[in-house]
Each structure stands twice: as structure tokens, then as C-alpha cells.
Chains A and B, each alone.
Chain A
């Protein structure tokens, strides 16, 4: 049995009552994605847990995991950088932006930096077409992104972490 944070447990309790009687299976996809955010990836243990809560077999959860592109069986970076190269972004430099991101982070599609801080994904249209090229880092949208702006975003995230780990060291 796994337990999640109190906030997530509260969300799941409400979620399981939102579908008609006997239809707890409906919670499988949302439960997986919210749990992934907390656990880091879809682990076999998590699959068992979601199956238990939604009253289905682990296999019925497992087959769902393979279908949805946002569900990952291995952990992505702390900051998951998603660069759109679909048509609207492509026309205004999305592909160049993605290639720049590969170079900047030293990783490719769905890879994670050795320190686990960043991961990269070339994604399909995420609904930011009129403000292209667009990047989503975790769940934050960034519009009209140039290679320079992407560098700034990544550098800022790196320095936040450098600061907070210094802070931790001081506290100890």
C-alpha cells in the first residue's frame, strides 16, 4: 500500500466519488498523472496502488500507461523541458529551438541530464500556436521563446537550485 501527501489523498478521495456508482475505473488516468507528479514516475508499485483504488486489475492500469504520452515509466528530470516543433512552432523557429535545447542541455529526446535536474522532450502541439514558438517546463507555459530566452529560463532554474542547496547546507 502506498500513501500520498494529504492534499493528494484529499483530491483522490473526492475524485473517486465524482463518477457514477461502480465506475471507479474512470479515475485511472487522472490518478496516474497526479500521482506521477508526486512519485516521479509510474512505478510497478504505483500501478498496483491505482488498480487497488480504482477496483481494476494492475494489467488494466498498465495498458493505459503505455498509451498516454505524458505518463513515464522512468523518472524525468526535476525540470521537464518540452519544446513544441509542430507546424505553428516549426514555421517560426521551433525546430531550431529544440536543437538548441539539445545542445544546451547535452541530451536528446526523453533523456535526462546526469544530475537529474533537466529532461528534454520534443512534443506535439500543446495549444500555444498563436504565441509560438512555445516551451512548457513542467506545467508552466513559456511563449515566444528564442534560444536566448530559453538559455535564460534554464540558467534561472539551475541557479534557483544552486541557491536552495546552498541554503540547505547552511541550515545543516
Chain B
């Protein structure tokens, strides 16, 4: 009997990071070792640290958490020669609405990520790593604790790993429910036992991160891509994608599609083909109305904007983002007022309250949208929603303010007719 996965893989996928998912006991170290596991670590150990970082740069891997920053460049910012201890922090606080891929990478192939972390340790002369997992993923914390224990017991973590003389300790650390802790400096405050409030930058975490020491923070998927890059070479990984957008990535598709799921495709994969052929198209023969391309903080796309390749730069060109890979598809029946309201309820709930434009802005936007949805909308609300949102843009410590503003601006601009329709309906109700 084939192994039960969260969703059936598609033959159109390019499986690099997810290639072991289907194997029996894919989470075990034995399976990992029998399928290319730790070849990259052995190779990296023979390389100079600069050469490892160079290889990651060549791969054109960009951060898979959402911001899409070039990974090799980020690694090069960590001062290897610093007399302070250096730390590696793995961001497994997957909370961007629409995103559910890191779960699978940890559940089905934990040792791939561990190997990636160890390679980063070799490159940066770091010997301790902290895996920050959101509290809701308790089963994964327990799962990772077991995987880490297995790696220790067979000499793949701890002292003198595989006789190389390299030491590395890896620990899990549980969050307790806070979207904001996915922001890297808020995550560091949370790791230090405080409220997750973003820090003033600079200094950036590469210089002064966890406990004021140089710290590398990357997403689960980013670390999981490292073994393939080192094993097969950065150029081979880069060649899978488009220029400056190397490799494959796991996209999570949800909403109005026949086969929602997590699928691995090369960067630059056509969005409409992804929706129609991999995710099985829209149920009931309905038409596409809108797509959130990479998590709820990304500006929304109208159906006529979706004929594009999915890479960071193509999405940026049309004013949106590839984000965290959480794609949400909406059919023609979707009420965009309800979508805007639900998104804003989320950001108002998750705003940490540190910066006033975000704290007050999200709250007022939520109230206006709630009133609108309840039938008390006014014509001027539409302009007010846009104006309030634009007032938040770029005026907060972290990206949460922007994350709340960007989808709202785009929904109000691109789907004004949904708001007008509501106003017309409300007027009709009053007349009757």
C-alpha cells in the first residue's frame, strides 16, 4: 500500500527537497542515509568555509520564509572570525496564513534540514542551533526531538561529528502562539524569554542576534535546500529556476481548487499551469477571481494578472510578492469584503502593539471593515481604507504593518466593485 501523504504528489512536480517524502519511514536517519543523506556534509567538511558560502551564492537560493533575501549573501554577513559564539536559529514559526510547507519538511524529512543546519555551522564556525517551532506544532516539536535524539545517538550531532572534529548541538524551542515571532528579531526576543517585539535594525542579527551574538536565521525550507546545493553543486540548483531565483520551492495551494496541497516546482513555474494542472483547477467549472500568491500579506492579484511565471522578481514586477509560498485561490463567487475583513482581523489580532501606526491602524481598519460587512458601510469608507493603509506603509519597526496594509490596498483598488455592490445592496435594504 502506498504511504499516506497529506496530498497526492503530482507528476508535474520537480522533487528535490521532497523526493524522499514518499519513502517508507522517510523520517528515519536510516532512510535518509540510504538516499543521499549526509553526503553533502562530508563534502562540505572538505571545503573551505568561504567555498561553502560561495556555493550557496551560486545556487541563487533565496530565503523561503517570505522576504526572499539571497541566502548566500546572508551567510556572508555573519562575521566568522568574531570572538563571540555564533548561533544558528531555524525559523519554524510557520504562521503566514496560507502556508503549511515547513510542517512536511520536518515531518517527512527532518534529517535533510539537520544536515543543512550542520553545513551552515561548518561555514560560519557555529556550534549551537535553536529550532524555534510554533507552539501549535507540538507534535512536530516531539517529532524533531526524536529525530535529534536519533542523530545524536548515531554521531550525526554532538561532539566530533562523523570523526571530523566538528561539534554541533541542536535544540528545539517551543513558541506559544504569536504570528509576530516569525519576524526574525521578534523571534530572537521570544527565544530570549521575552514578549516577541521586533528590534531596531541595525544591528542586524548577523552581527548582534541571539544573546547579542552573531546569529544566522533562516527558514526550515532554506536549510532543507542546502544539502542538495552542496551535493550536486550550486550551479545545478540555480539552473532549475530562473536567473537570480535558483532551485525549486514548495508551494502550498489552498482555497478554491480541486487538489489543494503542497507541491514542489522550479522557481518561475507558470502560475496558471500550477493552478489548473497541478492543483486540478477550480471546482464546479467556476471562473478564477483572485489569487493571493504567497501568504496573506502579499498584494492580491486579479485573474487577469495571473498569467505569470512564479519567481520573486516576476511577482515584484507586478507589485506583489512570492512571499512564503502560500497561494490562496478564490473563485468568482468570493466576496472580497469578507476576505479583506478576515485578513484584517488576523493582523489586528497579531499586531504586537509596539508601533502605533500598526497597532491603531490595524484596529481601525478592522472596525471599518467589520462595520462595512455588517451593512453599515459608507461610500467614503473605500477611500478611507486605502488612506489608513497607506499611512501604515513603511512606518513601522517590522513588516507586520506593511503586511496588513498591502493586501488591503490591493483589495480595495482591484475589487472596488465588490464594495460598491455591498453599498448598493445596503441602500436597497434601507429603501425597502
Cα distance A40–B254 in the bound complex, in angstroms = 34
Q: Once bound together, how far apart are the Cα atoms of A21 and B338, in whole Å?
A: 50
Q: Is A33 an interface residue (CB 8 A)?
A: yes
> Given the interface contacts A87-B328, A129-B97, does A124 sit within 8 Å of B350 by beta carbon?
yes
A64 interface residue per 8 A CB criterion: yes
- Main DSSP-derived SS at the B contact region: mixed
A165→B194 CA distance, assembly (Å): 41
- A32: interface (CB < 8 Å): yes
Known: A64-B193, A70-B135. A129 touches B99 (CB 8 A): yes
Q: Looking at the complex, which one of A60, A70, A124, A131 makes contact with B97 (CB distance below 8 Å)? A: A124
Q: List 5 A-B contacts (CB under 8 A).
A: A19-B211, A69-B178, A90-B339, A127-B94, A131-B100
Tally A residues with Cβ within 8 Å of B: 45
Bound complex: CA of A29 vs CA of B93, how far in Å?
A: 14
- The stretch of A100-108, A135-143, A145-153, A155-163 in contact with B is A135-143
Nearest CB in chain B: distance from A89 CB, A: 8
CB pair B99–A90 under 8 Å, yes or no, is: no
CB interface residues, B 203-226, toward A, < 8 Å: 211
Q: B110 at the A/B interface (Cβ < 8 Å)?
A: no
> Which residues of B come within 8 Å of A, CB atoms?
6-7, 85, 94-100, 102-103, 128, 134-139, 169, 171, 173-179, 190-196, 211, 252-256, 260-262, 292, 296, 326, 328, 330, 334, 338-339, 342-343, 346, 349-350, 352
Complex Cα gap A92–B328 (Å): 11
Residues of the B chain whose Cβ atoms lie less than 8 Å from the Cβ of A18: 169, 171
Residue A34, interface by CB 8 Å: yes
Distance (whole angstroms) from the CB of B290 to the closest CB of chain A:
11
A125 in contact with B195 given A18-B171, A23-B211, A88-B328 (CB within 8 Å) = no
Residue pair A124, B6 in contact (C-beta under 8 Å): no
Contact A124 B346 (CB under 8 A): yes
Give per-residue flags for A110-140: 1 if the beta carbon is below 8 A from chain B beta carbons, else 0: 0000000000000111111111100010011
